[in-house]
Chain A
């Protein structure tokens, strides 16, 4: 049987989703897929478009790649528009003249921005906001503009206003309707949103009907309004709604709606045989859906119909929750209370800037709509009650009133049916999450990677966590996150105990809060916490037994039991004299010598008894320990920055040295790496580090929780344009908060992925001081900084401690098990035996092979 050929016109979010669903279908081998894109690239995440202005690159926005399509046999043609559909011969023709026949044709052409027919709208700095090219146009225009106006005060318009503000323009929003977000909000919600946005310095002009755009006096243009007023601006961004891209259907005899949109039935079929339409170009039951989730659903339905399945499209809920210009806004169902006979409840707190309106059915029993501004915590609950048609437990007003006694009247997730949709971006239901938990995902990070929940807009994080916990409880899995068999507390609880009770040793803690003797899990974890908090010498009698061998000997044990030695080279900056000393030490002790990925130098093959004389030489030359052995700050990598580089914005080396000297010696749940880049070319690869700092023309951008290694994670942009002082303050707070709350051996990346509330929550804690602990975090960090001591210097001054640095306690002989071969001119080389290689392949963590 020959393959059925499917052509997908448009490789936007929905077109790509369709292809992805096809690829994942068990019968995929019976199909051949070809896709055309008018844009110069494959599908990217339009929903996250605005993050471009916060530093996301085009690469990061991509949803797919040529490789993925190639691997799965999908043919794709970019920068070529389909201009002709020949129904009779079942083929399409493109602008460049390419012809392609089809068995099934999928129209996923999306929509285009509506620009009102205002005279003067076609001038140079009059723009729209939909594609990556539009963003580039806005950036270029902003460079030569001071004032920007967004036409349209809807959801997209306000997002665009935020973008203009970020681009440094004086920003205005002009809206035809009497309030902002007229579709989603009611009068009260619109009012509050307006005052909040104006507080942020964006001017809002409602009930303005633009009549013409003419040359300006103080700015490039002047917009004249019907009421006789005007506004001067250098740039105009139209965001006055979208129109379905239905021109192919229009021209080639496929039914469209009276006001546009390609008419589809419940299976996404158009009026033409074997032609489907999905996404924003499709009109279902007289409606266009301007959100991505319904489009994804249509993609699923179309795949099902083509492959013989029975799914049908049944409409979509348009409830939304988002942050606009930093203001939380949510709209659910019948937000404007249009349902005949419905009742509504309103709660407004002018002081805190909170507005909530709940719309319920005439019998006062069901939620049918809501508006939330300023505090959207109730969103998940209310949405589920509406979608699940669940009867309101108790009195409706309790659902929006703040809980005076602290107990929020939350609806338990138990009340939800399995089919309740928890994540609308990726259509993940309660049942899906339960299944994932049963399949072995027992933390939020696992649920995210296995179901994709929370990875879209992120609005469902809290709900997803609740469902996950419910599933764990149902399965009888006691979420046992106690440290080990000796302590039935979590790491975070133990940290609090140490802080609050002022506990200074393991024995003291074990006596009051633990049992047995401890083990290699709790001892180093608690040793690390004691060190984070009190910063005492780790080789003190009461601490030494807690340390891993690396910490005991202040060096990294290698596979043969010898050690590697890494002195600190802060920021990678080193004098020629110091470099000579390092060379001499390496030569004199016959050490295998290598440059690390963290811009320093690592010596291998040192035996225990050689460590003190090596360090004597190093300390004498001014070197300090590099903590390569500790769960602590490793290096702060830097590029050369503005002192030498033609592109450098700020002095990245000085900042890197500064950071490294500030945080050296801080013991943390896991190792920490940082980097500082002097400009956005990012030569120091700061976005792959726990803490990344990148210079801009306005200050420092701070990135957090990145990671290289086995599971790379791109760091999140946390704050922008900071001065030196604020930057250090935020990093102080971040590091201490991480040290206090992470699990044992949890890198910042995993910690962040499991942090309920994610980046936004972290922002609230660190910038807005929501928990009121910032002062304490800074003070704790200051204590660590003030009590820093080089562990090697201290050890060299203690004959008692030096006794341990011998292979035998009763002999001067050395280990006879060591064997080396000469390799590439160095005396000490070792070739892993097959057995060793196999051990590594099994994935046993070999802490010490890493060179940082």
Chain B
């Protein structure tokens, strides 16, 4: 069984927005999808704009896929897999995330 690490309260997340967490020395962007009340986590680093900003993008869906648009140059990253829709070679890491009670946890 894998271990889970507490990150923050669910109430720290406003619906349809993201926050950034420091996790094992990595920056992780965590989003709350308001429609299904589900959390998603991918790397916070935008490999195209080369800055730690993905948690500050707007989320939505493109042809049915849940995505965040980079606030820098607007490429879309899939919230479930980290895939960059426009430039798959610039995809980012996706993280296991869950809500236990009112606590958001990342897999250690």
Contact = CB atoms under 8 A, between A and B. Distances in A.
Interface of A: 485-486, 507, 516-520, 522-524, 541, 544-550, 552-553, 557, 559-561, 803-804, 807-811, 813, 815, 817, 835-836, 839, 844, 846
A561 B51 contact: yes
B61 A813 contact: no
A517 B53 contact: no
B62 A519 contact: yes
A541 B62 CA distance: 23
A560 B17 contact: no
A186 B22 CA distance: 84
Given A520-B60, A835-B50, A846-B72, 6 more contacts: A522-B60, A544-B16, A545-B15, A545-B59, A817-B45, A839-B73
Interface of B: 7-8, 12, 14-17, 19-23, 27, 30, 33-35, 45, 49-53, 56-64, 66-67, 69, 71-74
A557 B72 contact: yes
Given A808-B22, A810-B7, A817-B51, A523 B73 contact: no
A557 B53 contact: yes
A835 B69 CA distance: 21
Nearest to B64: A516
B20 A809 contact: yes
Interface core residue of B49, B60, B73 (most chain A CB under 10 Å): B60
A486 B69 CA distance: 15
B3 to A, nearest CB: 16
A546 B69 CA distance: 12
A523 B71 CA distance: 13
Nearest to A518: B60
B17 A545 contact: yes
Contacts of A803: 12
A545 B21 contact: no
B52 A561 contact: yes
19 contacts: A485-B63, A507-B34, A516-B61, A517-B61, A519-B58, A523-B60, A524-B58, A546-B58, A548-B71, A549-B56, A557-B72, A559-B72, A807-B20, A808-B27, A809-B8, A810-B8, A811-B22, A815-B27, A846-B72
Interface core residue of B7, B14, B59, B66 (most chain A CB under 10 Å): B14
A836 B51 CA distance: 11
A203 B57 CA distance: 66
Nearest to B23: A810
B21 A809 contact: yes
B15 A541 contact: yes
B13 to A, nearest CB: 8
A197 B56 CA distance: 62
Contacts of A811: 21-22
A844 B21 contact: no
B64 A545 contact: no
A188 to B, nearest CB: 61
A524 to B, nearest CB: 7
A548 B7 contact: no
A809 B19 contact: yes
A50 B79 CA distance: 61
Contacts of B49: 559
Contact of B51 (A485, A544, A560): A560
A817 B50 CA distance: 9
Contacts of A507: 34
A807 B53 CA distance: 9
Contacts of B74: 520
Nearest to B8: A809
A328 to B, nearest CB: 46
A520 B67 CA distance: 10
B29 to A, nearest CB: 10
Nearest to A510: B35
A544 B17 contact: yes
Contacts of A520: 57-58, 60, 69, 74
A808 B21 contact: yes
A517 B37 CA distance: 13
Nearest to B49: A559
Please name the 7 residue pairs, one residue from A and one from B, whose CB atoms are nearest each other, closest first.
Answer: A545-B16, A519-B60, A520-B69, A549-B71, A561-B51, A520-B58, A549-B56
Given A519-B58, A520-B57, A553-B56, A813 B71 contact: no
A803 B19 CA distance: 10
Contacts of B14: 541, 544-545, 804
Given A810-B8, A810-B22, A548 B52 contact: no
B56 to A, nearest CB: 4
B52 to A, nearest CB: 5
Contacts of B27: 808, 815
A523 B61 contact: no
A808 B20 contact: yes
Nearest to A808: B22
B14 to A, nearest CB: 5
Nearest to A848: B72
Contacts of A807: 20, 52
A813 B23 CA distance: 12
Contact of A809 (B7, B62, B72): B7
Contacts of B8: 809-810
A173 B51 CA distance: 71
